[in-house]
């Protein structure tokens, strides 16, 4: 009895958006399932020796021994359900469903990966060719979409991050049990007085810098947005913070006179000096942890509609919307030059996301998902 949560073993200990979500899921489920035996985590390692990668770009090659051990554990412990954290675990999901056909499986998709991969692939192309991406990457998209569809068919329930992803999953994949479990606000962001030493001209971007959409956003900030912003606010500064910056991206950031903080351990210190967060993101999936943490600490946000997708935020009320480079520079300048108005907007955003995405709201979402899937009565 109890539950088992399956995750992909992380290459390093630096927290990622996925690991924060996984940790929150485990903590909430352990509380809800305490009288039924609680839960345990099983980490599956990527197989770096495989000569051939899985057909779908969204799938991780996993060690066969780890998958076999997982099946043995489930046969021995007979958990109430197994929660797989992400589509990357497809090999283990299919293996377990074939070995133990009666085992209840939940897959937390994190993102609609086939859609996200298509967006990432399109951004690899020059702008004039992006309209042809569906044809150029047709086989790749077909393979990723097939993985998403098979996972939903195998699972008793699927979790997604937002209403947007829920609608996409229902329309594209299946009318099966799909529950919305929003991303968490990190615990550190809930502490008070995190922003006592704000630099009134510092613009911040936070994100995994090895993730292509984030890398594209950083390039846009360095090459286009900041030069235009400095014509309005000459002393404006850019601070880029994130995991695993690639050498070329790091060189670009530093060569433009910007500040780079790789693999930060204490994000509270990073946000403490920021006057604004700028997120010119044009691809991505799920809900944005970088938006949630920025708003939780009271930092004004300037972002694209894609960057806040699924959060139900209202432009101008909760954040400044910008879609072009010139509009981004103007909106950032307005925030930097009108700190009192920016603070009022940030306070509204903070109250909104704490109500919608705080811990109590997330506990309700997980509890409702389990009730919807009839796990609580199983």
The model's pTM: 0.88
Q: Which residues contact 38 (CB under 8 A, 6 or more apart)?
A: 2, 3, 30
Query: Would you give the DSSP letter of residue 224?
Result: I
Report whether 375 contacts 81 (CB < 8 A).
yes
Rounded CA separation 283/297 (Å): 25
In a domain, 7, yes or no: yes
- Count the domains in the chain: 2
128/237 same-domain check = no
102/230 same-domain check = no
Write out the chain's pLDDT in tens, 378 residues: 799 999 998 766 666 778 889 999 999 999 999 888 899 999 999 887 765 566 678 898 999 999 999 999 999 999 999 999 999 999 999 999 999 999 999 999 988 888 888 888 887 888 888 888 888 888 888 999 999 989 988 999 999 988 888 888 888 766 678 999 999 998 888 876 666 667 899 999 998 888 888 899 999 999 999 999 999 999 999 999 988 888 999 999 999 999 999 988 888 889 999 999 999 998 765 457 889 999 999 999 999 999 998 899 999 999 999 999 999 999 999 999 999 999 999 999 999 999 989 899 999 999 999 999 888 655
200/126 same-domain check = no
Q: What is the CATH number of the domain that holds 163?
A: 3.40.50.2000
117/153 same-domain check = yes
Cα distances from 140 to residues 16, 110, 114, in angstroms, run 26, 20, 9
Output the 3-class SS for 117-168: HHHHHHHCCCHHHHHHHHHHCHHHHHHHHHHHHHHHHHCCEEEECCHHHHHH
Q: Which residues contact 345 (CB under 8 A, 6 or more apart)?
A: 300, 316, 317, 318, 319, 320
In a domain, 378, yes or no: no
| Bridge partner residues of 42 (DSSP) | 6
311/199 same-domain check = yes
239/334 same-domain check = yes
What helix, strand, coil percent values describe the chain, rounded to 5?
50, 15, 35
177/205 same-domain check = no
- Give the residue numbers spanning the domain of 364: 3-184+359-372
Q: Is 267 helix (H, G, I), strand (E, B) or coil?
A: helix
Phi/psi at 180 (5° precision): -95, 120
344/197 same-domain check = yes
């Amino acid at each position: 009895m109890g539950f088992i949560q399956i995750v992909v073993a992380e290459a390093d200990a630096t927290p990622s958006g996925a690991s924060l979500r996984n940790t929150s899921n485990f903590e909430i489920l352990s509380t809800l399932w305490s009288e039924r035996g609680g839960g345990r985590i099983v980490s599956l390692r990527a197989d770096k020796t495989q000569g051939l990668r899985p057909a779908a770009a969204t799938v991780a090659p996993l060690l066969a021994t780890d998958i076999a051990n997982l099946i043995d554990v489930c046969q021995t412990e007979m958990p109430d359900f197994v929660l797989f954290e992400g589509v990357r675990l497809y090999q283990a999901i299919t293996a377990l469903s074939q070995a133990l056909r009666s085992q209840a499986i939940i897959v937390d998709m994190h993102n609609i990966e086939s859609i996200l991969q298509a967006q990432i692939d399109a951004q690899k192309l020059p702008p004039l060719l992006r309209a042809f991406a569906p044809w150029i990457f047709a086989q790749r998209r077909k393979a990723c979409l097939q993985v998403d569809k098979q996972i939903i068919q195998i699972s008793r329930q699927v979790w997604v991050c937002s209403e947007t992803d829920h609608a996409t999953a229902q329309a594209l994949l299946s009318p099966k049990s799909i529950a919305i479990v929003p991303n968490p606000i990190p615990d550190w962001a809930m502490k008070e007085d995190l922003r006592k030493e704000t630099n009134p001209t510092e613009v911040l971007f936070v994100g995994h810098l090895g993730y292509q959409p984030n890398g594209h956003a950083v390039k846009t900030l360095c090459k286009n947005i900041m030069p235009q912003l400095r014509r309005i606010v000459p002393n404006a500064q850019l601070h880029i913070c994130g995991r695993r910056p690639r050498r070329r991206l790091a060189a670009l950031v530093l060569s433009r006179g910007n500040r780079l903080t790789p693999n930060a351990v204490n994000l509270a210190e990073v946000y403490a000096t920021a006057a604004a967060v700028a997120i010119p993101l044009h691809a991505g999936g799920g809900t944005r942890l970088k938006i949630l943490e920025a708003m939780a600490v009271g930092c004004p946000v300037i972002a694209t509609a894609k960057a806040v997708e699924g959060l139900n935020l209202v432009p101008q009320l909760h954040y400044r919307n910008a879609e072009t480079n010139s509009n981004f520079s103007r909106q950032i300048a307005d925030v930097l030059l009108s700190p009192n108005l920016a603070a009022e907007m940030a306070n509204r955003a903070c109250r909104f996301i704490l109500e919608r995405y705080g811990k109590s709201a997330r506990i309700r979402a997980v509890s409702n998902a389990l009730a919807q899937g009839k796990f609580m009565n199983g």
